[in-house]
Amino acid sequence: MNETTRVSRLRDDRVTLAHGGGGKAMRDLIGEVFTSVFEPASMEDQARLSNAALTEPGARLAFTTDSFVVTPVEFPGGDIGKIAVCGTVNDLAVGGAIPLWLSAAFIIEEGCEVALLRRIVASMAAEAKKAGVKIVTGDTKVVGKGSADKVFVTTSGVGVIPAGRDLSADKIQPGDVAIVNGVLGDHGAAILAARGDMALSTDLTSDCAGLGHLMEAVIAAAPGTRAARDATRGGVASALNEMAEASGLAIEIAEDALPLRAEVKGMCEILGLDPLYLANEGTLVAFVPEDQADAALAAMRSLPEGQGACIIGKAHAGEAGRVTMRTLFGGSRIVDMLVGEQLPRIC
């Protein structure tokens, strides 16, 4: 049976348990909604991967996995499909890897609209193409009504770290500067507003974006780049604390250097939130030697995802693992790891 004949048989508007039963209904759903868009090289039970970068002496594989349960599944600036691709691409990129391949597994709630799945899959395909990665394998499961929330997505990613590249937080040195590529907290604030629980009116959109091309530009311009982290759950504060602990150094940031939108500041003041802990999905913090900071900033600002890049702080030989912020009033306060969760299900 050819693909055209097979995909034309999906007539359901909503997913039923039959679509997870392993028979014809499941085959039709997978064929029309997923594989017709992702176009894997084969329909075997595994992807068979080859790339010239793998043959270079000293090259290493990087591998990561993540699950996405964001609510709502569609939000200003993205959806669960876009965030699944971007989140996994970014986890590879901040480690210096060139992202190449993704897998995608879907847990679909009975009753989920097929039209919603189509939009999510189209979003994933578009973002994967933009990032230069291929979705090569995956899986679908259908669970009963109430056992999930429309759809959950798990993605795994594989990339190649070129020979001689070794980004790691324990490589950060005293005097290295901390650079972010854009504004902080937009994703968390946009998700909070999109939920509609607090009648907040805002035009905020998520910063959700893949950062693979940006990281390559930074590394090319500033080859001494030490380390990078994407500031997702726990925000930039948690990313900085992780890096301070791994490096055995102290990090100080400046409150007046933090790139924050007025809308995010206002929302946080109203709700008693700290924007340093709000999630981002297209923002990273990188540490580079001070004499390469201008080159790194120029590289970031040359790309749409980095036009708001700025220096926010510096590492120094203070109390190991301590992150502090120089406040607008000239004082200093500790910026600790997030305790608990400011906003659940943001990715």
What are the pLDDT digits (tens) for 278-315? Answer: 999 999 999 999 999 999 999 999 999 999 999 999 99
| pLDDT tens-digit map of 180-196 | 999 999 999 999 989 88
- What would you report as the CA-atom Rg of the chain, rounded to the nearest whole angstrom? 21
Strands 98-109, 134-143: pairing is: parallel
The reported pLDDT for the residue numbered 3 is: 43
Phi, psi dihedrals of residue 134, rounded to the nearest 5°: -120, 130
- Where does CATH 3.90.650.10 sit in the chain? 169-334
The reported pLDDT for the residue numbered 30 is: 92
CA dihedral 12, 16, 19, 25 (to 10 degrees): -40
The reported pLDDT for the residue numbered 9 is: 76
Q: What is the CATH number of domain 3-161?
A: 3.30.1330.10
Confidence band for 8, pLDDT divided at 50, 70 and 90: low
Confidence band for 6, pLDDT divided at 50, 70 and 90: very low
Average pLDDT, the chain: 93
| pLDDT tens-digit map of 32-68 | 999 999 988 888 889 898 888 888 999 999 999 999 9
Q: What 8-state DSSP symbol labels residue 344?
A: S
CB 231 within 8 A of CB 280: yes
The reported pLDDT for the residue numbered 138 is: 95
Higher pLDDT, 108 or 7: 108
| pLDDT tens-digit map of 164-178 | 999 999 999 999 999
CB 280 within 8 A of CB 235: yes
* Percent over 90 (pLDDT), the chain: 82
The reported pLDDT for the residue numbered 219 is: 98
pTM of the model: 0.94
Confidence band for 11, pLDDT divided at 50, 70 and 90: confident
CATH 3.90.650.10, applies to 169-334? yes
Mean pLDDT confidence for 2-29: 78
CB 88 within 8 A of CB 156: yes
| pLDDT tens-digit map of 205-250 | 999 999 999 999 999 999 999 999 999 999 999 999 999 999 999 9
- Judging by beta carbons within 10 Å of its beta carbon (0-12, 13-18, 19+), is residue 53 exposed, middle or buried? middle
| pLDDT-wise least confident of 34-38, 91-95, 159-163, 339-343 | 339-343
The reported pLDDT for the residue numbered 10 is: 86
pLDDT tops 50 at residue 2: no
- Where does CATH 3.30.1330.10 sit in the chain? 3-161
Q: What 8-state DSSP symbol labels residue 309?
A: -
The reported pLDDT for the residue numbered 340 is: 73
The reported pLDDT for the residue numbered 1 is: 37
| pLDDT-wise least confident of 40-49, 74-83, 267-276 | 40-49
Edge-to-edge strands, sheet with 323-326: 227-230, 284-288, 177-180, 310-316, 250-254, 323-326, 332-334
Task: Name 41's Cβ contacts closer than 8 Å, sequence gap at least 6.
Answer: 47, 48, 136
